[in-house]
Amino acid sequence: MFNLQVAKNEREEDEERRKRDNEARMGRASHSCRVIQAVTQICKPSRSRNLDRSKQQRGTELLDDYFVRDSAFPDTYFRRRFRMERYLFNETMIAVCNHDSYFVQKNDAFGSMGLLPQQKITTALWMFAYGVSVNQVDEIMRMRKSTILESLMRFCRGIESIVPRETYKHGLAKSYEEG
């Protein structure tokens, strides 16, 4: 009987010791977790609040300025601004939209309409044509920087997969021969 009581007491003491060790370990772990969280908050910039960019309004203005029948700017302005004819832009837009559904206008998570394909493709073309930065395009087109860069990358991938490389080779060779 005495041995059973001693063994029971030892087990209870072991359990209490394990509980204390676990609590101490958890305290150390939670402290280190808190330190890591604090360091990551200091090192990484906080997420900026959402801005009302009026993207639908800017899309409507872009359509009214360049893409509707009686647009505000004639074809000469379109050619100067986009460095191509309007029909070529439209053909390129249709081909890229058929290749990648990213460029097709869809509803966003809140149910409002997303960006127009003209807006996404215009950003990519302006970055190529003028060598402008993302910040400049952001101010003009009212799009997030991440969306602008995503549009640029997807546009490049789309054009590379749509147009065969032989076209580039022959086109470049022909332009060198003429020039």
Domain with 26 in it: 1-43
9 in any annotated domain: yes
Residue pLDDT, tens place only, 37-96 = 565 555 555 566 666 667 777 878 888 888 888 888 888 888 888 888 888 888 989 999
Average pLDDT over residues 151-158: 88
Residue 165 located in a structural domain = yes
Decide: residue 28, CB within 10 A, 0-12 exposed, 13-18 middle, 19+ buried.
exposed
| Count of structural domains, the chain | 2
Residues 119 and 167 in one domain: yes
pLDDT for the residue 173: 47
Q: Are residues 29 and 96 in the same domain?
A: no
User: In the prediction, which pLDDT does 98 show?
Assistant: 92
Please check whether residue 55 lies inside any domain of the structure: no
- DSSP class per residue in 68-129: STT-SS-HHHHHHHHSS-HHHHHHHHHHHHHH-GGGS--B-TTSSB---HHHHHHHHHHHHH
- Residue-level pLDDT at 176: 44
Question: Do the domain assignments include residue 49?
Answer: no
| Residue 153 within any structural domain of the chain | yes
Residue with tokens 């059973």: 4
Q: What is the mean pLDDT of residues 155-170?
A: 75
* Domain co-membership, 32 together with 66: no
Task: Please tell me whether residues 106 and 73 are part of one structural domain.
Answer: yes
* Within-domain flag for 57: no
Whether residue 52 lies inside any domain: the answer is: no
- 67/39 same-domain check: no
Q: DSSP class of residue 131?
A: -
Are residue 81 and residue 128 in the same domain, yes or no? yes
